[in-house]
Amino acid sequence: MLFSLFTSLLPAPTTLIPRSGADFYRLCQFAFLSTPLLVPLVHIVHAPHGRFSFPSRWNVNGNIGWFIMEVVSPITFLLSLVSPVLTSSAGLKDLIQPDFNKLTRLPAANAILATAFVVHYIQRAILHPLRSARRSPMHISVPLCAVLFNLINGFLMGSWIGGRSPVIDVPADALDATVSNPLDLLRSKIPARIISPGLASTPSGESTLNWIFALGMVGWAVGFAGNVYHDEVLLDLRRPKSKRLTSAMRADADSDDEGGSRKGKERQREKQGEKEGKPRYGIPKGGLFRFVSFPNYLCEWFEWASYAVAALSITTLSPTHPHTLPLTPAARLVLCLTTPPALFLLAEFCPMFPRALTGHQWYHERFGVDGDGKGGRYPRDRKAVIPFLI
């Protein structure tokens, strides 16, 4: 039942070579829907950057590679945001045809969502690498794969928030039979493009702002701030002790000369690595590092989960929307989970979760575990990415 509903609500691309904007959009949706299939591979094969980088003739500068692969997303997002609606009749040439006057016509909620997305990527693509000391080299496959991911994500998110998603035909078995004359209700109340917020789903001039949207955006801001803070802690590990910005890492620098023989060996190894151009590694401290090894991942998931809640609250998919679709609970769930904000969260979580697990194990192997009887220093109670659980 659910699978049948899924295939009827989200038709599979008829070809791997899209011929229209609508085909390309659906192909991108299915690309992100398939990311759970990558989890076993990512768990076994470590992406060759950061602590898992290795010498190769195909390596590129870590800071430059990071900038190139991340800046693609906001550029693609903005161009997609202000381009025409995607249809089955329009060719691929219509994918990107920006009309920047459209920015002035965005409803308030859409403009807030767009601004939040761009702010995140200005921080991630520009400010982050500018503040970072020398990063480990990354294999060229890493920025190439990341560019592909960010092209898809920027296109989907910009198209969705800009109200240009292709038409979805709602089948009769997706309608809630308890609603009187649901087909008539659907025809009279619901615009064709049902999964884009604001421009496509709300009558002109009607505000889409609501308390769920506000709560979601507060959650986005909290997650964004947490992500920036914990990234700053990691950047402090690469900075000279006198230039560290977070109080926890400054305090750690003050006590760095204390410890046993294991710590002395680690310092010698780090100094040798610095001579060879490698970044130094240490045990991050402060904030949620008290509980997990990768709080930057956890905060980013919370950031985009909150963003998805806010975005979906202003669509007719939301049961609290004044023009909510008369859908069955299963149909509503399927449509919500296949919207770009939800797909973005899924496509981020699937590769990041196994990398957090392998990174957590790397910390154990590098520093030893506190209380192991061998001078280990890594906190025994610190989990990988979910506090107290995983």
Low-confidence ranges of the chain (pLDDT < 70): 1-16, 49-50, 88-91, 169, 171-173, 176-207, 250, 252-280
* pLDDT attached to residue 191: 41
Beta bridge mates, 378: 369
* pLDDT attached to residue 188: 44
Q: Where are the domains positioned within the chain? A: 2-255+270-367
Alpha-carbon dihedral sign for residues 117, 317, 30, 52: positive
Nearest to 36 by CA among 358, 348, 389: 348
* pLDDT attached to residue 189: 45
Quote the CA–CA distance of 344 and 313 in Å, as a whole number: 17
Quote the CA–CA distance of 270 and 60 in Å, as a whole number: 22
- Burial of 221 by CB count in 10 Å (0-12 exposed, 13-18 middle, 19+ buried)? middle
Please state, as a whole number, how many other Cβ atoms lie within 10 Å of the Cβ of residue 308. Answer: 23
Beta bridge mates, 292: 383
CA angle 343/344/348 to nearest 5° reads 115
Helices (H), the chain: 2-9, 21-33, 39-44, 62-81, 108-122, 128-131, 141-161, 182-189, 211-238, 247-254, 261-275, 295-313, 329-337, 340-367
Exposure letters 258-271 (e unless 16+ CB within 10 A, then b): eeeeeeeebeeebe
Nearest to 278 by CA among 138, 135, 65, 141: 135
Quote the CA–CA distance of 195 and 325 in Å, as a whole number: 11
Residues in contact with 139: Cβ distance below 8 Å, sequence separation at least 6, in sequence order: 48, 49, 53, 54, 56, 58, 59, 60
pTM of the model: 0.85
* pLDDT attached to residue 344: 95
Nearest to 153 by CA among 351, 317, 286: 351
